[in-house]
Amino acid sequence: MCGNPNTRLLSRLVIDFLLLLAIYGAALVVLPQQLATAQSGFHCSDASLKYPYRQPWLTKVHLTVAVVALPAAFVLVVEMLRAAVVPSSAELRQRFVFVGVRIPSFISECYKAVGVYLFGLGLTLLAIRLTKHATGRLRPHFFDICQPTWGEEGESCSDYSAENSTRFLEHFACTEFAASQDLLALVRHSFPSGFASSTCYAMGFLILYAQARLFAPWLRLVRATLQLACGSLALVVCWERISTYQNHLADVAAGAALGSLIAIFATVSVAHLFAEVRVKRRQWPRNEQIYGYAGYYSRATYGY
């Protein structure tokens, strides 16, 4: 039964689905409910926590479009370009057959690209969630949102003199009705920047994917344009998180580095976008009609 091609293909689909379900379930459901955020303290004189709160102009809807809808459309456009302009003899194609129906290479390539991308995105979300809860770093607008008080008499930073303003405070409570519960729940989740990590992963993956897939000479200008657009979008998101005081500069830099590293891991180690295999090529001598000889040459392949 294991030798049946239909069974192997169906098993592969089920395993891929269960793996993605486990990763996203842990990152989006299990860990937020089970992990406790580290209780980090502060100094009343810490100027990096005294920025005003500004409403961000990038929401979770924009993030979803940038890391889900845009990459799916990007992969679709790239594979359509390849199917239209790249001759089938110029590349290696892995063909699948299911219940007697040959699956077009266009569909199989899109499935492999999207599958690897979603796997890397799940790892990114998992790393973001673990790091945010483990560090518990306060956001730049901490004082504006929380307005912390401590002690039985409800002391605050405004009651402290210059002599003891540098006292490190770990046990405090946010002022009741100072902000909504949603904002108070996020005030300790500054490091790393989730927006920067997710966007840099998505754009980094697409840049490397375009570099590997759009290798034809007549597609170089299209490839460079798409890569420039992806890099610009990542920079815009990083700048938005800093300019609206949602994250510290170090948080955004760490998030961008995290997303970029996972993008490299997904494309190089998981998808093997830039791997080369030896391909057997048969050549016929000019004066021989029956016998020939075989040679080998290296060709970049794509698959996982």
* pLDDT 10s digits, 222-249: 899 999 999 999 999 999 999 999 999 9
Q: Is residue 246 part of a domain?
A: yes
Q: Which residues contact 261 (CB under 8 A, 6 or more apart)?
A: none
In a domain? residue 83: yes
Nearest 5°: CA angle at 235, between 187 and 240? 35
**CA 119 → CA 124, 257, 282, distances in Å?**
9, 18, 38
Work out the pLDDT band at 302, boundaries 50, 70, 90: very low
The model's pLDDT over 285-294, given as tens digits with 9 standing for 90+, comes to 554 444 444 4
Any domain includes 38: yes
pLDDT in tens, 42-73: 888 889 999 999 999 999 999 999 999 999 99
The residue segments making up the domain with residue 192 are 5-277
- CB-based contact 303:94 (threshold 8 Å): yes
Helix 194-213 and helix 105-135, axial crossing angle in degrees, nearest 10: 150
Q: Is residue 132 part of a domain?
A: yes
For residue range 125-148, list pLDDT tens digits in order: 999 999 999 999 999 999 999 988
Q: What is the number of domains present in the chain?
A: 1
298 falls within a domain = no
Q: Is 279 helix (H, G, I), strand (E, B) or coil?
A: strand
